[in-house]
Structure 1
Amino acid sequence: MKHKITGDIVRWNSSIYEFNHKMRSLKKDEEVELSINSYGGDVFLGIDICNTLRSHEGKVTVIITGIAASAASIMCMGADTVKAYNNSQMMIHNAWTIAIGNAKKLRKSADDLDSIGESVVASYTHRIDEATVKDLLENETYLSASKAKDHGLIDEIINGKPEEVESEVFKEEAEEFNNRLNPIASASENKIPAEYEQMFAAFKDLLKNESQLNQEPPNQEPTPAEPKQNMSKLFLNLK
């Protein structure tokens, strides 16, 4: 079974709904290949998908096609084999939340986050030692494919280019992630815009006409020529 989870890790994400539907209909030993491109989201949903993959009896392969950040990186830990494109990224950090209320409520929120943090650490420790995990989480660490492999968080690096990822919920965080990444520019970004190609073609034709007029024999009767193009109009029309 091949599937792709993209976007925020939230219950109403259609790719997550489809994933759960497909997992329920799998044979117990069927192989699973799951591609992931997400900034993260609900930590418990990430843990749920991680454990769903872990409990599947067939071989599970996860491929990071752009970024697997936060809860999305936890999902990757459920795979038997984790692969990443050489220009993709993984990011792990401590759980965070938005809290309101009195001092007692806020202290409880901090205690709750500490408890959730224990579950987050446990999600990675079958691949990496606890002390290293805690250090990476504390520093909100972005890992290139090569660094993630050095730490043991992924098993294999494949060549390719990263994908754009959309986020409906974590827009500000998504922008921050993008600013901190340095994706390789695709060849398509270097193409000449269509309006410039049109301008160059018209300019080339104009020079060709000028050249032909200047090369006519002096004794030859002049033939009617097409009106010369006005250079200023040529450039003004290409908006």
Structure 2
Amino acid sequence: MNVVNPTNDEPGRIDLYGTVGVDPWSGDEQSITAKGVKKAIEQIDGDSVDVHINSYGGIAFEGIGIYNVLKESDKTVNVYIDAIAASAASLIAMAGDTIFMPKNAQLMVHHASTLEYGNANDFEKVIQSLNAMDKSMILTYESRFKGTEAELRELLDAETFLTSDEALAFGFVDKIVDYDSDEDDSDESNADIKNRLFSKYSKEPIAAEAKEDTSTSEDSSKEAVIDLDIKEPQESFAEKLINLI
């Protein structure tokens, strides 16, 4: 998790990249926790904060905890789904006062799940816990979802990956971000940009190579035509038979 304080007119920023909850493999660096987000919010000055999410999820209770921390904040929360907000991370995203999603990003929702071992009584308790967790998740999604609870449950049943258009239609996000549609203030043409990029791997400009290839192709064509002109036509097999007769 990365925290950036506001500069000039830019709001503070929190990057939630990693696992929701304590990640036992990568440690605190890739762990997203309610405690960490609360501390980050307190460190950021200003009236608003941009929260950027790129996470496959993790622990549902931790996701709901982070959701509530952001909701309780006195700051305006702008959420950006940078690539994927899946499972518990999708719960966090719902805390945004405004939620932005690039056109090539995705949001995934599903039912609560877990691993367990034991006897029948143990599994009955697990089922009860999962059903209770589903209710908490549904309440979180319903704060934004445009549709019925039955429709929301259908999405959870299918473990649905939503495109930006679909997420917008269901009310999970407010605005689709299309970075390609922004006006380019650069005076550099597309051809110049390509040549500059490919020049890292080639000593000669792309345009020169293309011209050289064209001229070589033209020369080969001319040679082929000349060869056809100077070669005598060969007799066909039928003509040879006639001459023999």
Classify the TM-score, shorter chain. 0.5 to 0.7
The sequence identity of aligned pairs, in percent, is: 31
Confirm or deny that 1:24 pairs with 2:42.
yes
Contact 2:37 2:69 in 1 (8 A): no
Alignment partner, residue 73 of structure 1: 90
Deviation by residue 1:130-167 (Cα, 9 ceiling, x = unmatched): 22221111111110001100111000011249xxxxxx
Instruction: Check the 8 A contact 2:101/2:177 in 1, yes or no.
Output: yes
What TM-score results when the alignment is normalised by the length of structure 2?
0.63
What one-letter code is carried by the residue in structure 1 that aligns with 2:156? L
Aligned to 2:116, which of 96, 99, 102? 99
Instruction: Report whether the alignment pairs 1:139 with 2:158.
Output: yes
Equivalent position amino acid for 1:10 in 2: G
State the AA in 1 paired with 2:99: V
Does the C-alpha gap of structure 1 residues 139 and 103 become closer, same or farther in structure 2, counting only changes over 3 Å?
A: same
Separation in 2, partners of 1:103, 1:130: 30
CA distance in 2, matches of 1:160, 1:111: 44
The one-letter code matched in structure 1 to 2:150 is: A
Amino acid at match of 2:127: A
When structure 1 is superposed on structure 2, of 139-148 and 12-21 the one drifting more is 12-21
| Higher-RCO chain (CA-CA 8 Å, sequence separation at least 6) | 1
Cα distance between partner residues in 2 of 1:79 and 1:130: 21
Q: Which residue matches 2:29?
A: 14
Match of residue 139, structure 2, among 111, 119, 122: 122
**SS state of the match for residue 19, structure 2?**
coil
Tell me if the contact between 2:37 and 2:66 (Cα under 8 Å) persists in the aligned partners.
no
User: 8 Å contact 1:87–1:160 — kept in the other structure?
Assistant: no
In structure 1, what residue type is equivalent to 2:80? I
Given the two structures, how large is their TM-score scaled by the length of structure 1?
Answer: 0.65
Counterpart for residue 16 of structure 2:
5
**Helix, strand or coil for the counterpart of 1:61?**
strand
Q: Distance in 2 between matches of 1:117 and 1:37?
A: 23
One-letter code aligned to 1:141: T
* Alpha carbons 1:82, 1:155 under 8 Å: kept: yes
* Paired AA for residue 9 in structure 1: V
5+ residue gaps, structure 1: 162-186, 199-203, 208-239
Q: Indicate the SS of the match to 1:95.
A: coil
- Report what 2:125 is aligned to: 108
157, 171, 178: which one aligns with 1:159: 178
> C-alpha deviations, 1:110-138, integer Å up to 9, x for none?
11101111001011111114222211111
Instruction: Measure, in 1, the Cα distance between the counterparts of 2:37 and 2:113.
Output: 26
What is the aligned-residue RMSD (CA, Å)?
3.0
Could you tell me which runs of 5 or more consecutive residues in structure 2 were left unpaired when the two chains were aligned.
Answer: 1-11, 181-192, 204-208, 213-245
* Larger strand proportion of the pair: 2
Partner Cα separation in structure 2 for residue 13 and residue 155 of structure 1: 31
Work out the CA distance in 2 between the residues paired with 1:9 and 1:160. 27
Specify the structure having the higher radius of gyration (Cα). Answer: 2
| Distance in 2 separating the partners of 1:51 and 1:43 | 12
**Structure 1 partner of 2:50:** 33
How far residue 14 of structure 1 moved from its aligned partner, in angstroms, is 2.9
**Aligned residue number for residue 167 of structure 2:** 148
After TM superposition, give the deviation of residue 26 of structure 1 in Å: 4.4
Q: State the aligned residue count.
A: 175
